[in-house]
């Protein structure tokens, strides 16, 4: 296979399906600490398409039918999973109290499930 020096893959941005904007904001913004980068609706009553980020991590949330599938699993590689766990515990989110699980494949994972059954695993490689 020939090498093409002009191709640069930069990032993958998952689109997660949501069904309730208030619940999505409570979970992703208030609980997980993301910020809104943009919101788009084709008109006032159209479904919301929203970009969120935290640090260099970007995700899209969408109410549009066909954008994402409920129950999607996303793994986010990170450092300092214990610090994130402590940050989330202080917030006392009434729908979730996740723990950290050491996996046999060499990661420590903190799994949260959003109100739409999407699973987000914050994963730190064990050195």
- Concatenating the DSSP letter of every residue in 5-60 gives TT--------EEE-S-HHHHIIIIIIIT--EEEEEE-SSTTSPPEEEEEETTEEEE
* β-strand pairing of 49-54 with 73-77: unpaired
Note the pLDDT of residue 8. Answer: 86
Note the pLDDT of residue 70. Answer: 86
The CATH code of domain 15-125 reads: 3.10.180.10
| pLDDT over 70, % of the chain | 97
| Domain boundaries along the sequence of the chain | 15-125
- CB within 8 A of 9, min separation 6: which ones? none
Could you give the CA distance from residue 84 to residue 103 in angstroms, rounded to a whole number?
A: 18
Note the pLDDT of residue 10. Answer: 87
Give residue 2's pLDDT band: very low, low, confident or very high (50, 70, 90): low
32 in Cβ contact with 112 (< 8 Å): yes
Task: Kindly tell me if the per-residue pLDDT of 62 is higher than 80.
Answer: yes
pTM higher than 0.85? yes
CA 9 from chain center: how many Å? 20
What does the pLDDT look like over 68-94, one tens digit per residue? Answer: 888 999 999 999 999 999 999 999 899
Which own/partner contact pairs does 34-37 have at CB distance under 8 Å and 24+ positions apart? 34/59
What does the pLDDT look like over 6-54, one tens digit per residue? Answer: 998 888 999 999 999 999 999 999 999 999 999 999 999 999 999 999 9
């Amino acid at each position: 296979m020939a090498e093409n020096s002009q191709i640069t893959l930069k990032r993958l941005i998952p689109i997660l399906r949501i069904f309730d904007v208030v619940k999505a904001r409570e979970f992703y913004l208030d609980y997980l600490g993301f910020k809104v980068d943009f919101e788009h609706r084709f008109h006032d009553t159209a479904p919301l398409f929203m970009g969120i980020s935290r640090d260099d991590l970007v995700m899209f949330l969408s109410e549009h039918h066909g954008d994402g599938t409920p129950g999607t699993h996303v793994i986010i590689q990170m450092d300092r999973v214990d610090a994130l766990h402590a940050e989330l515990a202080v917030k006392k989110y009434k729908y979730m109290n996740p723990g950290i699980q050491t996996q046999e494949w060499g990661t420590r994972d903190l799994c949260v499930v959003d109100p739409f059954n999407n699973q987000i695993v914050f994963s730190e490689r064990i050195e």
